C-alpha cells in the first residue's frame, strides 16, 4: 500500500505539471472506487485551475479555483488505495485496463489515476479540507509540517499514557500519528531499539524521543529515495522507489540482523506482519 513517502513523492511529481494549469476535460472510465464518483463531476471540474497541491497523511489535496459565481474554490481529495498511482503523461497516451480517471490540462499533459484494486478515492469537496470527515480526526504529521522530533515525541508520550496497546499498533493508529504504515513502523522501531510488542504506556519520554527521531529519519530518507516499491507503486513518472534497498528488518525474516547478526524474526500483530531483531529490540 502506498504510504506517506509514496504519496509525498507523487505530490512532488505532479505539482510542477499542474500548478496554474486549467482543466480542459475530465474522463471517468470507472466510477466504482471506494466511494462512487458522482455523475456530473466532469462538468464541475472543466475549466477549473489548479492553485495548490498539498498532502494530509496519505491523502493528496488538489485545490482548484472554479469559474462559478459562488463556491469558487474546491478540493479534489485523492487516495491511492492499495495499488493506485497518479501520474503525469502526455495527452494521447493510450489508456489501459485499470486507468480509471484522466484529467486533461491546457499544457498538453494529463493526470491519470490508475487503481487496479479500486480501493482508492477521488472526492470533490467545497468545504475546507481540514473539516472533511476523512481528514478532521487525523493525528500529528511527523514530517514536512514544521513539527520537530521533540514535538512528535511529546505528542506520542502524552497520547500513550492511558493506552495499553503494543507500540507497533499505537504507531499505526492514524488518529495518533499519520503516515507511519507497516514498513516504516517496523523500521523505526528497529532503529530506536524498541520491541514491537512492548506496551506503549511502558515507554519513557526519552525513548519516545529516540523513536520520533527514527520515524522522521526513516520517512525523510524514503521520500528522498522516491518511496518503497514492494509490488505496484510507481511515482508520477512511472518510476519505482528505491528505499526497499535500505530496509533493515522489514521482509527480512530469517536473515541476519545488520547490527548484531541475530536472526530477524517475523510475528503477526493485528493481522499485520511485523519483523524485528530479538536481540537489538527490547
Query: Is there a contact between 104 and 110 (Cβ–Cβ < 8 Å)?
Result: yes
Q: Please tell me whether 56 is known to bind a ligand.
A: no
> CB under 8 Å to 158, separation ≥6 — which residues?
none
Is there a domain that residue 141 lies in? Answer: no
pLDDT at 223 over 80: yes
Whether 61 and 97 map to the same domain: the answer is yes
Whether 171 and 256 map to the same domain: the answer is yes
Q: Does residue 226 or residue 97 have the better pLDDT?
A: 97
40: left (phi over 0), alpha (psi -120 to 50) or beta: left
Task: For residue 278, indicate whether it is catalytic.
Answer: no
**C-alpha atoms less than 13 angstroms from C-alpha of 261 in its C-beta half-sphere:** 0
Give the integer Cα–Cα distance in Å for 173 and 214.
17
Averaged pLDDT, 248-274: 96
Query: Is there a contact between 262 and 280 (Cβ–Cβ < 8 Å)?
Result: yes
pLDDT at 9 over 70: yes
Query: Is there a contact between 101 and 115 (Cβ–Cβ < 8 Å)?
Result: no
Averaged pLDDT, 210-221: 95
Tens digits of residue pLDDT in 18-69: 999 999 999 999 999 999 999 999 999 999 999 999 999 999 999 999 865 4
Q: Note down the domain range covering 207.
A: 149-276
pLDDT at 236 over 50: no
- Domain CATH for 222: 1.10.8.50
Task: For residue 58, indicate whether it is catalytic.
Answer: yes
Whether 18 and 93 map to the same domain: the answer is yes
**Residue of 11, 55, 58, 87 with catalytic role:** 58
- Total domains in the chain come to 2
246: left (phi over 0), alpha (psi -120 to 50) or beta: alpha
**Cα→Cα distances 192→186, 209, 240, Å:** 10, 9, 27
Task: For residue 2, indicate whether it is catalytic.
Answer: yes
Cell matching residue 260: 548484531
**Residue of 3, 6, 8, 187 with catalytic role:** 3
pLDDT of residue 39: 94
Q: Please tell me whether 117 is known to bind a ligand.
A: yes
Task: For residue 272, indicate whether it is catalytic.
Answer: yes
pLDDT of residue 66: 80
pLDDT of residue 252: 94
Whether 112 and 208 map to the same domain: the answer is no
Query: Is there a contact between 64 and 23 (Cβ–Cβ < 8 Å)?
Result: yes
pLDDT of residue 60: 96
Whether 82 and 181 map to the same domain: the answer is no
Question: How would DSSP label each residue in 70-117?
Answer: S--EEEEEEE-TTT-EEEEEETTPPP-TTEEEEEEETTSEEEEEE-TT
- Domain CATH for 20: 3.20.190.10
pLDDT of residue 173: 96
Whether 119 and 36 map to the same domain: the answer is yes
Whether 125 and 155 map to the same domain: the answer is no
Is there a domain that residue 142 lies in? Answer: no
pLDDT at 265 over 80: yes
Q: What does the angle CA 222 – CA 227 – CA 230 come to, to the nearest 5 degrees?
A: 120
pLDDT of residue 248: 93
Amino acid at each position: 500500500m502506498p504510504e506517506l513517502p509514496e504519496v509525498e513523492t507523487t505530490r512532488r511529481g505532479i505539482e510542477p505539471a499542474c500548478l496554474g494549469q486549467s482543466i480542459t476535460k475530465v474522463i471517468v472510465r470507472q466510477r466504482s472506487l471506494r466511494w462512487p464518483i458522482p455523475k456530473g463531476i466532469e462538468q464541475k471540474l472543466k475549466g477549473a485551475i489548479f492553485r495548490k497541491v498539498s498532502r494530509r497523511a496519505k491523502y493528496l489535496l488538489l485545490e482548484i479555483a472554479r469559474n462559478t459565481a459562488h463556491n469558487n474554490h474546491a478540493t479534489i481529495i485523492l487516495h491511492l488505495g492499495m495499488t493506485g498511482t497518479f501520474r503525469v503523461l502526455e495527452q494521447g497516451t493510450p489508456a489501459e485496463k485499470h486507468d480509471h480517471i484522466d484529467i486533461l490540462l491546457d499544457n498538453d499533459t494529463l493526470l491519470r489515476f490508475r487503481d487496479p484494486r479500486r480501493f482508492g478515492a477521488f472526492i470533490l469537496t467545497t468545504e475546507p479540507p481540514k473539516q472533511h470527515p476523512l481528514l478532521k480526526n487525523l493525528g500529528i504529521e511527523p514530517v514536512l509540517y514544521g513539527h520537530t522530533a521533540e514535538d512528535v515525541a511529546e505528542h506520542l508520550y502524552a497520547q500513550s499514557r492511558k493506552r495499553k496497546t503494543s507500540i507497533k499498533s499505537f504507531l499505526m493508529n492514524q488518529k495518533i500519528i499519520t503516515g507511519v504504515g507497516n514498513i516504516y513502523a517496523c523500521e523505526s522501531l528497529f532503529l530506536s531499539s524498541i520491541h514491537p510488542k512492548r506496551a506503549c504506556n511502558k515507554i519513557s519520554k526519552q525513548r519516545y524521543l529516540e523513536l520520533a527521531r527514527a520515524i522522521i529519519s526513516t520517512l525523510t530518507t524514503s521520500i528522498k529515495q522516491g518511496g518503497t516499491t514492494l509490488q505496484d507503486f510507481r511515482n508520477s513518472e512511472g518510476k519505482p522507489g528505491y528505499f526497499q534497498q535500505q530496509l533493515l528488518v522489514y521482509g527480512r525474516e530469517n536473515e541476519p540482523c545488520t547490527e548484531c547478526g541475530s536472526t530477524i524474526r517475523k510475528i503477526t500483530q493485528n493481522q499485520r506482519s511485523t519483523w524485528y531483531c530479538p536481540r537489538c529490540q527490547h
